[in-house]
Amino acid sequence: MTAALALLGFILLASTSGASRLASARWTQHSPRWGVLAWQTLSGSVLLAGVLVAVVLALCMLPLKINVAELSGLTPAEVARHYEPPTGDWLGLLALAAAVTAAAVVIAHAAGSLLSSFRGRRSQLSTLALVGRKHPDGFILLSHDTPVVYCIPGRARTVVVSTGAQRLLSERELSLVLGHERAHLRSRHDLALTASDAVSRAIPLPLFRTAHEQIATLIEMQADDSARAASDRRSLANALVTLSVGQSPQAAIGAGDTAALARVRRLASPGPDRLSAPRKALVALACATAIVTPVGLALAPAFEASATECCTTSQ
């Protein structure tokens, strides 16, 4: 029972204090790739802790107790005794049912997203085959005044540029924007977004919503880093503003692309990946700790019992 409470405490801490500290951290913008990893790890550790709550409450009924027994040097019966919730079996069963349901809902959302994006991409590509023109620079040119540049992830790995965008951007700016889109395609950012979106829709924890928004912004910054030289970054910032101005502004205030301003400001600073080696090591350590802690909390009762028993028997 104490393990379950400790895990719930971990979930609370990670999803409130952990989330707010990571959201206000500046280093994530210096190395967006590590920033994305940090958010994914934070979310993953909370999900893991959630599953482990169900596991520790139901452990006396699960064959897993044999593995725990082997790990800690206790007998399965002793393990069951230390993990049995005082309220009886029903709590464990309820927790297991909740965990399985949550997992199913996450998978359902992810599958739904993948299916909907597969269909959407296929329809885009077939229409583009009809009305688009292949440009020698490796993108599809679409005849339309509204300036847009976008990419279609997946197997097709296509970048689409409208004639409106081509008209507004210089050659240099266009090639930098293409670099940005290709970075998205190479890194398969769509997969990271699908995952974070599915989790945030399936489980209404504020942490997951924040993680999804942060990941969405950070992958844009990561793709911006395909422009390395200061002059290139300035040109990319210019392209960003040009294209957003060219698209008709929304009538309503609020919503809209909130990442754009942060991206332009960030492109003022020179060079990507300015996270120092010690900093990276610290982040890696924090990520590892986040994953190991729930497991440790779940196993703690068994190891504690094993330690006390070993001490009492030796006396």
Partner 1 sequence: MRQLGQLESAVMHRLWSWDRPAPVREVLDDLNKERPLAYTTVMTVLDNLHGKGLVRREKSGRAWAYTPTMSREEHAAGLLEQVLSDGADRGATLLHFVGKMDATQIDELRAALAHIDEDDA
The SS3 assignment for 151 reads: strand
Confirm if 219 and 204 have CB atoms less than 8 A apart: no
Residues 241 and 237: their CA atoms lie apart, in Å, by 6
- Shortest approach of partner 1 to residue 39 CB, angstroms? 16
- Shortest approach of partner 1 to residue 34 CB, angstroms? 21
- Shortest approach of partner 1 to residue 255 CB, angstroms? 7
Query: In the chain, which residue ranges form alpha helices assigned H by DSSP?
Result: 2-13, 19-24, 27-30, 32-58, 64-72, 76-83, 89-131, 163-168, 171-187, 189-202, 206-224, 230-246, 259-267, 277-314
- Shortest approach of partner 1 to residue 113 CB, angstroms? 4
- Shortest approach of partner 1 to residue 274 CB, angstroms? 17
Pairing of strands 139-142, 133-135: antiparallel
Residues 240 and 173: their CA atoms lie apart, in Å, by 9
- Shortest approach of partner 1 to residue 29 CB, angstroms? 14
The residue among 82 and 180 lying less far from partner 1, judged by its C-beta, is 180
Q: How many CB atoms lie within 10 A of CB 93?
A: 14
The residue among 73 and 246 lying less far from partner 1, judged by its C-beta, is 246
CB under 8 Å, gap of 24 or more: what pairs does 2-6 form? 2/301, 3/56, 3/83, 3/297, 3/298, 3/300, 3/301, 4/53, 4/56, 4/57, 4/85, 4/95, 6/297, 6/300
Q: How far is CA 171 from CA 136, 143, 166, 174, 211, in A?
A: 14, 18, 8, 5, 35
- Shortest approach of partner 1 to residue 182 CB, angstroms? 11
What length does the chain have?
315
- Shortest approach of partner 1 to residue 83 CB, angstroms? 39
The residue among 3 and 221 lying less far from partner 1, judged by its C-beta, is 221
The residue among 40 and 238 lying less far from partner 1, judged by its C-beta, is 238
Q: Which residues bind partner 1 (CB under 8 A)?
A: 109, 112-118, 120-121, 124, 127-131, 142-144, 146, 148-153, 160, 162, 177, 180-181, 184, 189-191, 193-194, 197-198, 201, 234, 237-238, 240-241, 243-245, 247-257, 260-261, 264-265, 267-268
The residue among 3 and 176 lying less far from partner 1, judged by its C-beta, is 176
Q: How many CB atoms lie within 10 A of CB 7?
A: 27
Confirm if 102 and 203 have CB atoms less than 8 A apart: yes
- What value does the CA radius of gyration of the chain take, rounded to a whole number of Å? 25
The residue among 9 and 256 lying less far from partner 1, judged by its C-beta, is 256
The residue among 81 and 186 lying less far from partner 1, judged by its C-beta, is 186
The residue among 51 and 185 lying less far from partner 1, judged by its C-beta, is 185
The residue among 8 and 194 lying less far from partner 1, judged by its C-beta, is 194
